[in-house]
Amino acid sequence: MKSLFRYLKISFFALPLVAAQQDQATRIVFLGDSITQAGVNPGGYIVKMGEILEKKGLKAKYELIGAGISGNKVYDLYLRMDEDVLAKKPNLVVIYVGVNDVWHKASSGTGTDPDKFVKFYEAIIKKLQANQIKVALCTPAAIGERTDFSNQQDGDLNKYAQLIRDLAKKQNLPLVDLRKAFLEYNLKNNLNNEEKGILTNDRVHLNELGNQFVAEEMLKTLGI
């Protein structure tokens, strides 16, 4: 744990210094699914990150780019990396995927098996690092907001979130643990054990408060 915090301080607190030295903005690409696709819309978490940075007087130091496509699973992200990520020459990529890999098992029978999920996720990390791009990981937040683990996909979602935690630990990468953060928030604020309407509008996609919450969690992990 201490080594992870040490890495965070070295890698991400250094980002503003890199931008200042190069006299150009640090470019951050958010790679993900429909949650990230919506993140660039008014009120989306990426837009809200920009608003927070502007209030802090830091907006000119960072360029935030959304690379989310609805329905994407981890292998979709890998297949479109060249055009949607590498071509943009980012300094940092935040990977936010996993909901559809779990959700689509029940909804359409097209989810991603755990071993394949890890292999594709590792391939994404390896390709980014081979291009000298820093990487941060995110756990999928929710498929239902009930806090007693009675949401249909809670078991799988917890498993896949743990796979991402293990990857972050194994490769000493920063982790935005949204799964953990959402549960902690709902335990305090979802007193009626509702399945949606706290941080999501439909059990998965973020409402206004959810977008603000994710924006703050992202910036906190990035050390901004």
How do residues 47-94 score in pLDDT, each as one tens digit?
999 999 999 999 999 999 999 999 999 999 999 999 999 999 999 999
What pLDDT, on the 0 to 100 scale, is given for residue 51?
A: 98
CA distance linking residue 176 with residue 44, whole number of Å = 17
Q: Please return the burial class of 105, using the count of CB atoms within 10 Å of its CB with bins 0-12, 13-18 and 19+.
A: middle
Judged against a pLDDT cut of 70, whether residue 1 lies above it is answered with no
Q: Residue 85: helix, strand or coil by DSSP?
A: coil
Work out the average pLDDT over 170-190: 98
Residue ranges in 13-44 assigned as alpha helix (H): 15-22, 34-37
Q: What torsion do the CA atoms of 222, 52, 50, 39 make, to the nearest 10 degrees? A: 80
Looking at the 3D structure of the chain, how many domains does it have? 1
What pLDDT, on the 0 to 100 scale, is given for residue 205?
A: 98
Work out the average pLDDT over 6-14: 45
Q: What is the pTM of this model?
A: 0.89
What pLDDT, on the 0 to 100 scale, is given for residue 202?
A: 97
**Crossing angle for the helix pair 99-107 and 154-170, to the nearest 10 degrees:** 150
Evaluate whether 113 touches 75 at the Cβ level (below 8 Å).
no
Domain that includes residue 92, residue range:
2-221
CATH number at residue 175: 3.40.50.1110
Sign, CA dihedral 19-25-30-35, equals positive
Work out the average pLDDT over 2-16: 44
Work out the average pLDDT over 99-117: 88
Strand partners, 32: 68, 96
Evaluate whether 95 touches 129 at the Cβ level (below 8 Å).
no
CA distance linking residue 216 with residue 178, whole number of Å = 11
Q: Residue 2: helix, strand or coil by DSSP?
A: helix
Judged against a pLDDT cut of 90, whether residue 165 lies above it is answered with yes
Q: What torsion do the CA atoms of 154, 157, 158, 160 make, to the nearest 10 degrees? A: 160
- Residue 141 DSSP symbol: -
What pLDDT, on the 0 to 100 scale, is given for residue 172?
A: 97
